[in-house]
Amino acid sequence: MEVFFMQNKQGWKLFLTLPVLSWALYDFANTIFSSNITTIFFPFYVQEVAGGDERLDQIASTFLSYANAVSSFFLVLFSPLFGVWIDRSGRKKRYVAAFALAAIVCTALMGLVAPQNFGLFGGLPAAFAVVVVLFVAAKFFYQSSLIFYDAMLPDIGTKETMPLLSGFGVAVGYMGTLVGLTVYPLVSDGHYADAFLPTAILFLIFTMPMMFLYKETPGPALDKRPFFAGYRDVLDTFKEMRHYRPIFLFMIVYFFINDAIATAIAMMAVYAKAIVGFTSGEFILLYLVSTVSSIIGSFIFGYITKAVGAKKSVFYVGFILFSALLLGTFAINQAMFWVTGSLFGVALGAVWVTSRIFIIELSPEDKRGQFFGLFAFSGKLSAIAGPLMYGTITLVLADYGNIASRTALASLMLFVLIGLFIHRKIPE
């Protein structure tokens, strides 16, 4: 702590300014959506409506994985335009607010539509189909808001303080997970859609400080940039990156490792309940343990990376992830899956620490911004392939019951192995 104050003479005052607090509270707000909707209650709702027996549970997994893949596809499609919007207007807050409000409205509509009786559609309640479409839209708007939210960081910090502010935002976000779970007592008799509307309300409440208290100083507007210049920027950066073989290889490694992590986290709720036999309450406790493991993992791997270097640390993260997938695939009791969830948490927290540092080590300083942009784009792209493969396996093998989900989870080990194999090709 003494070192912290020596490095930052402002101490805790840095975090207690109105711009920083109002900015960080949006991390708190969007994490409520991420944990409640993406990870917990929407997957529970999908299994509640589309599941029921071993075969139908696989169909539920397919619905969930495809919905996540479609949302990620639209994000990949439109995200290159967002940088151009920032350049044209010099503003970010208005876009954060607009996308956040769109996500909040879609989430609230999920809660209002779910109990309705619109008849059947494809053998399932028509209301369920509408809720799935609203989820795809809500997640797209939520993820879009994060692009502009992250771009606000240089506006509230300096080169020296940005790492501290970024860590502060993440810590505040984890606290949002705890507050978001206060809606669980409102869920009656397994009707998980009861959590949607309260989640939207909490999302709105904690977004309001950023909307009304954050005073933005617009950057210079660059009106001459063509509207579709973002796509050309991605292509040009990709072409240029090929001349930097180490970082080109690492982007491929990150694609496969992040793919496995993102898919496993998205499917964890349904898998834990349908395959391992967790109750809703037990899974929420598991999720909290995984969150704590993420915090611990990110902290410990900061020291590991400093001691052995980023390249070896990335390999260690891949090994932990592979071990978690292996244990989860063959988990026959809850104790095994408790270990699986904890390992997933460590890998999730550590992958951000090690990957960001590795990119800094590999990329020239004058091109670091370009490569970080492509790094983020690679993460979005990887969020399509994994869920698509997972959902297709559970759909094709649905008649084999739980074997389908275990096979789908095991397939993610292939992603990790490919990533670790390519990782060996990265020169020191």
Dump pLDDT digits (tens) for 298-318.
778 878 887 888 888 899 999
With pLDDT > 70 as the criterion, what percentage of the chain qualifies?
Answer: 85
Contact between 409 and 267 (Cβ < 8 Å)? yes
Kindly report, residue by residue over 67-90, the tens digit of the pLDDT: 999 998 998 888 777 766 766 666
Residue 410 pLDDT level (bands cut at 50, 70, 90): very high
The pLDDT of residue 350 is above 90: no
Mean pLDDT of the chain: 83
Residue 422 pLDDT level (bands cut at 50, 70, 90): very high
Q: How far apart are CA 119 and CA 49, in angstroms?
A: 14
Q: Which two tokens stand for residue 310?
A: 């980023």
Q: What are phi and psi of 277, to 5 degrees?
A: 90, 25
Q: How far apart are CA 180 and CA 409, in angstroms?
A: 27
Average pLDDT over residues 259-276: 88
The whole-number pLDDT of residue 158 equals: 67
374: Cβ contacts below 8 Å, ≥ 6 apart: 234, 237, 238, 241, 251
Contact between 35 and 173 (Cβ < 8 Å)? no
The pLDDT of residue 290 is above 50: yes
The whole-number pLDDT of residue 86 equals: 67
Contact between 60 and 205 (Cβ < 8 Å)? no
- Residue count of the chain, please give it: 428
Query: In this predicted structure, which of 20-34, 40-54, 240-254 has the lowest mean pLDDT?
Result: 240-254
Average pLDDT over residues 208-221: 76
Query: In this predicted structure, which of 160-174, 307-321, 329-343 has the lowest mean pLDDT?
Result: 160-174
pTM value surpassing 0.85: no
The whole-number pLDDT of residue 1 equals: 38
Contact between 80 and 233 (Cβ < 8 Å)? yes
Give the domains, in start order, of the chain with CATH numbers.
16-214 (1.20.1250.20), 228-428 (1.20.1250.20)
Q: Which two tokens stand for residue 49?
A: 């409506």
The whole-number pLDDT of residue 42 equals: 93
The whole-number pLDDT of residue 221 equals: 55
The pLDDT of residue 140 is above 70: yes
The whole-number pLDDT of residue 326 equals: 95
The whole-number pLDDT of residue 104 equals: 97
Contact between 152 and 134 (Cβ < 8 Å)? no
Residue 6 pLDDT level (bands cut at 50, 70, 90): very low
The pLDDT of residue 223 is above 60: no
Kindly report, residue by residue over 14-28, the tens digit of the pLDDT: 666 777 888 888 989
Average pLDDT over residues 154-159: 69
Helices (H), 16-53: 18-33, 42-50
Q: What are phi and psi of 133, to 5 degrees?
A: -65, -40
The whole-number pLDDT of residue 8 equals: 47
The whole-number pLDDT of residue 7 equals: 46
Average pLDDT over residues 334-360: 85
- One-character DSSP codes across 171-211: HHHHHHHHHHGGGGGG--TT-GGGGHHHHHHHHHHHHHHHH
Average pLDDT over residues 79-105: 81
- Give the torsion through C-alpha atoms of 404, 410, 412, 416, to 10 deg: -170
With pLDDT > 90 as the criterion, what percentage of the chain qualifies?
Answer: 31
